[in-house]
A and B are shown apart, each in its own frame.
Chain A
Amino acid sequence: MTDAPPFSGKVAIVTGGSRGIGRAIVAALASEGADVAFSYRKTAKEAREVVAGVERLGRRAIAVASDAAQPDETEDFVQRARKELGRIDIVVANAGISGPTGWEAVSAQAWRETLETNLVGAYSLVRAVRPHFPATSGSVTLVASIGGLVASPEQLPYSVSKAGLLSLTRSLALALAPKVRVNAVAPGWVRTDMTASLHEAAGPREKIRRAIPRGRWGEPDDVAAAVVFLSSDMARFITGETLVVDGGGSLSWRAGVSE
Chain B
Amino acid sequence: MFDLSGRVILVTGSSRGIGRAVALELGRAGSDVVLHHRANPAKADAVRTELTKLGVQARIVSGDVADPAAVATLVRAAGEWKGRLDGVVTTAGIYRGDASHQVGPNDFQVVLRTDLEGTFRTVQAALPYLRKSVRPAVVTVSSVLGGHAGVGAVAYQAAKAGVEQATRALALELAPRIRVNAVAPGFIRTDMNQAGHSDPKFHADIVAATPLGRWGDPDDVAPAVRYLLSLEADWVTGLVLGVDGGIPLR
List 8 A-B pairs, Cβ < 8 Å: A173-B249, A188-B235, A229-B2, A234-B2, A236-B220, A237-B243, A239-B245, A247-B237
Q: Bound state CA distance, A218 and B235, in angstroms?
A: 7
Binds A, one of B59-67, B79-87, B116-124, B225-233: B225-233
Q: Which of B171, B212, B243 contacts A213 (CB 8 A)?
A: B171
Q: B211 touching A243 by the CB < 8 A rule? A: no
Q: B234 touching A177 by the CB < 8 A rule? A: no
B176 within 8 A of A: yes
A218 partner residues in chain B, CB cutoff 8 A: 235
B214 partner residues in chain A, CB cutoff 8 A: 178
Please give the number of chain A residues whose Cβ is less than 8 angstroms from any Cβ of chain B in the complex.
40
Residues of B in contact with A, size category: 35 or more
Q: A246 touching B186 by the CB < 8 A rule? A: no
Q: A234 touching B223 by the CB < 8 A rule? A: yes
Q: A240 touching B246 by the CB < 8 A rule? A: yes
Q: A243 touching B241 by the CB < 8 A rule? A: yes
A251 within 8 A of B: yes
A208 partner residues in chain B, CB cutoff 8 A: none
Q: Bound state CA distance, A174 and B1, in angstroms?
A: 29
B-side residues, CB < 8 A to A, are 1-3, 168, 171-172, 175-176, 179, 186, 211-214, 216-217, 220-221, 223-224, 226-227, 230, 232-239, 241-246, 248-250
Q: Bound state CA distance, A215 and B248, in angstroms?
A: 33
A235 within 8 A of B: yes
Indicate whether A239 sits within 8 Å of B212 (C-beta atoms), given known contacts A173-B246, A213-B176, A248-B171.
yes
B1 partner residues in chain A, CB cutoff 8 A: 1, 28, 32, 225, 228
A244 partner residues in chain B, CB cutoff 8 A: 236, 238-239
A128 within 8 A of B: no
Task: Give the residue among B3, B223, B236 with the most A Cβ atoms within 10 A.
Answer: B236
Q: Bound state CA distance, A235 and B244, in angstroms?
A: 10
